[in-house]
Amino acid sequence: MQDQRVPPGARDRFEALYLACYPPVYRYALRRTESADDVADVIAETFLIAWRRLDDVPDGEGAVLWLYATARRVLANHRRGQSRRTALAARLRDELSAAPPATAPDPRVDAVRDAFTALAPGDREVLALACWEGLSGPQIATVLGCSGAAARLRLHRARKRLARLLGTAGEFRTTTALREESR
């Protein structure tokens, strides 16, 4: 039965948004959580908010940036223990739990990962948005809710701090090897 309170076209628009943006939101959550349960929770809560605030979700490229910004807040709540497990996504949780581990241990990668983890959360996030989500400075600014100049400055400083950590840790050989591996 058609829910009379759903605006005309809202369901179709949300379904298109969901199917188009599920992969990037999944990867965003996967990169920033420790368990399949958390990934499923972040995905479910992020899209639930998008459904309830569909008028706020911009069209086009802005949609995924809006979802990233929303997922970022959802994650912040999770980390502060202010969210509980959602009742949604039970099957998705099972599917994600059944997926094999993503990576095999590699001491060179682990060394870089340690340096990355040693960064402040703000530095990690701006680097991740640039290097994992592949966002430009203005796009990062949209996700973080700051100016483009501030985003570029934060990115520049985060790169410098990571370079310093890697340099002082004597990881130049590691980073060179990684650079070659990543083409």
Q: Which of residues 121-140 bind another protein (CB under 8 A)?
A: 127-128, 130-132
Q: Which parts of 88-117 interact with another protein (CB under 8 A)?
A: 88-96, 99, 102-103, 109, 112-113, 116
DSSP string, 74-128: HHHHHHTT-----SS-HHHHHHHHHSPPS----HHHHHHHHHHHHS-HHHHHHHH
Q: Are 39 and 33 in contact (CB under 8 A)?
A: yes
Q: How far is the CB of 50 from another protein (least distance, A)?
A: 8
179 is an interface residue for another protein by CB under 8 A: yes
Between the alpha carbon of residue 22 and those of residues 68, 77, 116, 118, the distances in Å are 11, 20, 26, 30
Among 38, 41, 42, 47, binds another protein (CB under 8 A): 47
Distance, CA of 33 to CA of 134 (rounded, Å): 19
Q: How far is the CB of 152 from another protein (least distance, A)?
A: 13
Cβ closest to another protein, residue 91 vs residue 170: 91
Among 41, 64, 66, 75, binds another protein (CB under 8 A): 66
Q: How far is the CB of 88 from another protein (least distance, A)?
A: 5
61 is an interface residue for another protein by CB under 8 A: no
Question: 73: helix, coil or strand?
Answer: helix
Structure tokens at 119: 């960064």
80 is an interface residue for another protein by CB under 8 A: yes
Cβ closest to another protein, residue 3 vs residue 170: 3
